[in-house]
Amino acid sequence: MSTTGLPLWRRPRAQLYALTALVWALILAVLVLAWPVLLPFVLAGLAAYVMDPVIARIAAARVAGRPVPRAAAVLVVYAVAGVVLYLLGVSVFPAVYREAVRGLLELRDLLAGVTPERVRGWTVDIDAFLRRYGIPLDVTPGGMPGAGGRFSIDLAAGLAQALQEASAFLRGRVGDVVAFSRALVMGTFQTLFFVVLLFMLTAFISMDAPRILRFVETLIPAAWRPDFRRLLHGVDAGLSGVVRGQLTIMVVNGILTLGGLLALRVPFAFALASLAFVLYIVPIFGTLLSSVPIVLLALTGGGLSKGLLALGWILVIHALETYVLNPKIMGDASKIHPVLIVLALVLGERTFGIVGALLAVPVASVFVSVFRFLHRKLAELDARAAVQPAPQAFAAPAAAPTAPLTKGSPQP
């Protein structure tokens, strides 16, 4: 039965699409209302996505002729992760904690010993260095702004104010070692609770991941499901590089950073390597932020030569990441232009703080994958329309066939 004559709201296909739109609108409304508590679920979903290839490979294996249940595969992965975390907890974490506390206490004492006379001496030395190399900048107070084409800033006042604020901040935070340790222990317990919740949610999502994907697919009309599978494949190709690839690069860079710092005997090597490992999760900005304390501590602990060696080792690590690890691990499908990465990081940080900055690149990868899918779909539709013959709107009507004239037939 043809439905072309029916009103639009009574056509079955239009009703199907309207109902699909209503279902997805309800899902989005629930997500918006539950946004303040969605962080553990989002992180659990990312963690389950990272572990899914390993779980799927274990579940595809056969033991005594039977496939391994997916729940058993999840338990195997969790057991291995628990052993790794235990080894890190008894070997690396205590060293990081001791170095972090000792570094904060030494920084507090250093800032407390910085006097205005010492700051003034530093500015005089910097000003002499600038004049020696012809740099038109004065950093000592009392100079004439713009005299002789030179610029003048009061570096001493700025340094004194910044050091005073930093010293007051550290005295308030670590002035009492017992209070600082107590706050650190409470923060550790809160983190452990969050991690336990995250592990539970990740286990539930990992066990039912295929079922969840099949349910989501049922929310799509059958005519659109092939395109939906193509879209999911593109999103997976992008996210696998951004999430799994970035985590792999974080581990490799963290190990290389720790090895270089230990070889150069840079102070607080474990704390600096742990900080670099955590900051590497934020592209571009994490690399810059992690390099600054490493070079500064290398300069203060061993002079200019050690500082240059530390900087050179960091550049070697980043060159290895750029030219070897990124092409091999991330691949072409997950490439995002650096301008888009910076834009996503700024928008994420301005909108949702540190959590937004952490999730900015994965979300940007999803948007880029959707854009690429729509772009390819548009090209397919354009190519399909080009091969179809254009309708002739003003074609002349065909003449009716006429019978041949015979003798005795009436003339027209």
| Closest by Cα among 291, 293, 214, 220 to 24 | 220
This prediction's pTM: 0.66
Q: What is the pLDDT of residue 150?
A: 60
The pLDDT value recorded for residue 174 is 53
Do residues 72 and 60 touch, judged by C-beta distance below 8 A?
no
pLDDT at 79: 92
d(CA 374, CA 227): 10
Q: Contact, 275 vs 104, CB < 8 A?
A: no
- Structure confidence at residue 169 (pLDDT): 64
State the amino acid at position 74 in one-letter form. V
Could you read off the pLDDT tens digit of each residue along the chain, which spans 412 residues? 455 666 666 677 777 778 888 888 898 888 888 877 888 888 888 888 888 888 988 888 888 788 888 889 999 999 998 898 888 888 878 888 788 777 777 766 766 666 667 767 767 777 777 777 777 766 665 554 444 556 666 666 666 667 667 666 656 555 555 566 676 677 777 888 888 888 899 999 998 888 888 888 888 888 888 888 888 888 888 887 788 778 888 888 889 998 998 898 888 888 888 888 888 887 777 778 888 888 888 887 777 788 888 889 988 988 887 777 777 766 555 677 778 888 888 888 888 887 788 888 888 888 888 888 888 888 888 888 787 665 554 444 555 455 454 444 445 4
CA distances from 395 to 385, 391, 399, 402 (A): 21, 9, 12, 21
Please check whether residue 232 is in contact with residue 369, taking contact to mean a CB–CB distance below 8 angstroms.
Answer: no
Extract the tokens encoding 301.
Answer: 């602990």
The backbone torsions φ and ψ at residue 137, rounded to the nearest 5 degrees and listed phi first, read -150, 130
Model pLDDT, residue 190? 80
Alpha helices in 240-337 (DSSP H): 246-264, 269-279, 285-320
